[in-house]
Amino acid sequence: MRMPEVNPLKFNEHEYQIVNDEVTKLYSTFRDNFFICRLQLVLKSFNISSVDVLLAIKDFLVSIQHTVNQNYISFNFPRELRGQELEVAKWAGLAQRQGTNLLQLDQSRLHEHDLDVYTLKNKRKTVPVKLDKCLKNKLDGFGYKNYQTAGQRLAVRACLTAKKGSTIFVNLPTGCGKTLVSHASIIFQREFANTIVILPTVGLAIEQAARAREVIEHCGIPVVSNYCWHASGLPRLC
């Protein structure tokens, strides 16, 4: 089921402080928990909404339930949920205890197939392979020591040795190194050639461009000073 479309609600200063105090208290107990650390980061984010916080709270509560077996831990929200917050909470599997502001998990809406995420179970078995010498020399000191997988090595080699005018489709799982494929193409491209990288969101484009700039400058390749980001047909110069 898709998440309902909402107009995000904001916390006032008092509400934000209550949430922040609750997160600080929980962090003192569960400081090794990945999801309480992520909840802290959400609170520090610019222009957060109550919906952002609700979703992060849900992730934390599920992770605690299935890592330390505390089935009934709750989160003290600063007020009763209202309007579209209720829709999002129901969709996410959160319920507010009647007569209080406490948020708890709705056990009937939890799915077993999601639990590997919350217990941080490693389901991907990857074996690093030796980095090709040409890339190793270019990227020396930049953190690249190996290919993450043989598939990543095959993708990079296919792109760097492709015939002019050819088309290559690279299909690698998330986290298996598609970014290096584009970096390798940039580093070894012909003079006056272009490498075009298409990404699904502006935020990811900004992050990837910053990373690419670091790689390019490290390799001594001239870079442009500005990029133009496009979203919803509206250009914005950065």
116, pLDDT greater than 80: no
Residue that wins the pLDDT comparison between 9 and 158 = 158
Beta carbons of 139 and 86 less than 8 angstroms apart:
no
pTM of full prediction above 0.75: no
Rounded to the nearest integer, the mean pLDDT of the chain is 83
- Read off the pLDDT of residues 144-163 as tens digits, 9 standing for 90 and up: 889 988 999 999 999 999 88
- Read off the pLDDT of residues 189-207 as tens digits, 9 standing for 90 and up: 877 777 788 877 777 777 8
DSSP string, 109-159: G--GGGHHHHTT--------EEPPHHHHHHTTTTT--EESSHHHHHHHHHH
Q: Which two tokens stand for residue 90?
A: 């129901």
% of the chain exceeding 70 in pLDDT:
86
